Amino acid sequence: NAGVMQNPRHLVRRRGQEARLRCSPMKGHSHVYWYRQLPEEGLKFMVYLQKENIIDESGMPKERFSAEFPKEGPSILRIQQVVRGDSAAYFCASSSGQGGQPQHFGDGTRLSIL
Amino acid sequence: AQSVTQLDSHVSVSEGTPVLLRCNYSSSYSPSLFWYVQHPNKGLQLLLKYTSAATLVKGINGFEAEFKKSETSFHLTKPSAHMSDAAEYFCVVSVDGGSQGNLIFGKGTKLSVKP
């Protein structure tokens, strides 16, 4: 089953380190979305990418966060100099980009900051 | 602007009894609406979607939802709860069918099912 694959499933970092979260979309999907889920909250949109392009980054924090979706390989969400408040579950979704087609979600990466 | 409000943060039912999870939406455009389910430590699974076709939408696992424009509601129902239905449910709105751009999530409703 070639669903959306995220790794790692759990990531522990100390304050000030970098976190890299990976997402491989479903087969045939070229649109990737990243969401963050804080405890007791719904998911909040962060960024929408197509291959080699950022389409919408209106939900990304202005500093320390970046995302890419290269021509080859998975999409990467990168968090530099992590702080305690970055602890959350980060979900990736993908779609074909065709009208009416829903986004399919991965199982998420749980990021814990010590 | 689009938004969703899930009226109950926690719903508890007995196995075999009906389930009702309530959702109201706000949208400047003709919305697309979705219900997703999240089991513990898992990703989100699409239960059903409304995209301006039939107002009564049938989804997986016996769930269905009815789009009521006059009430701006999209409540999720199931005639008979099963233990495996215990999870968190999210009502979601998108202005463009959900495939382009971002989805807007409600805060979720945790469903507990008692034996």
Indicate if the alpha-carbon torsion angle A110, B32, B90, A59 is positive or negative. Answer: positive
Q: Which of B2, B103, B107 to mutate to test the interface with A (most CBs of A within 10 A)?
A: B103
Burial class for A3, CB neighbours closer than 10 Å (0-12, 13-18, 19+): middle
Residue whose tokens read 């890419």 = A68
A37: helix, strand or coil: strand
Is A101 close to B99, i.e. CB distance below 8 A?
A: yes
pLDDT, one tens digit per residue, over A52-88 is 899 999 899 999 999 999 999 999 999 999 999 999 9
Q: How many CB atoms lie within 10 A of CB B56?
A: 9
pLDDT of residue B1: 74
Burial class for A114, CB neighbours closer than 10 Å (0-12, 13-18, 19+): exposed
Q: Average pLDDT in the A108-112 region?
A: 96
By the CB < 8 Å criterion, does B103 face chain A? yes
B100 vs A91, A97, A105: nearest CB: A97
Tokens of A35: 């969401």
Q: How many CB atoms lie within 10 A of CB A103?
A: 29
Q: Which of A100, A78, A86 is nearest to A38 (CA)?
A: A86
A100 vs B42, B44, B51: nearest CB: B51
Beta strand A109-113 with A104-105 is unpaired
pLDDT, one tens digit per residue, over A5-61 is 999 999 999 999 999 999 999 998 999 999 999 887 778 999 999 988 999 998 999
* Helix, strand, coil percent values for chain B (each to nearest 5): 5, 50, 45
The residues that bridge with A44 in the sheet, in sequence order, are: A36
**pLDDT of chain B along its 115 residues, tens only?**
788 999 999 999 999 999 999 999 988 777 889 999 999 878 889 999 987 778 899 999 999 999 998 999 999 999 999 999 999 999 998 866 555 567 889 999 999 999 9
- For B108, left (φ over 0), alpha (ψ -120 to 50), or beta? left
Q: Which residue from B minimizes the CA distance to A47? A: B102
pLDDT of residue B100: 59
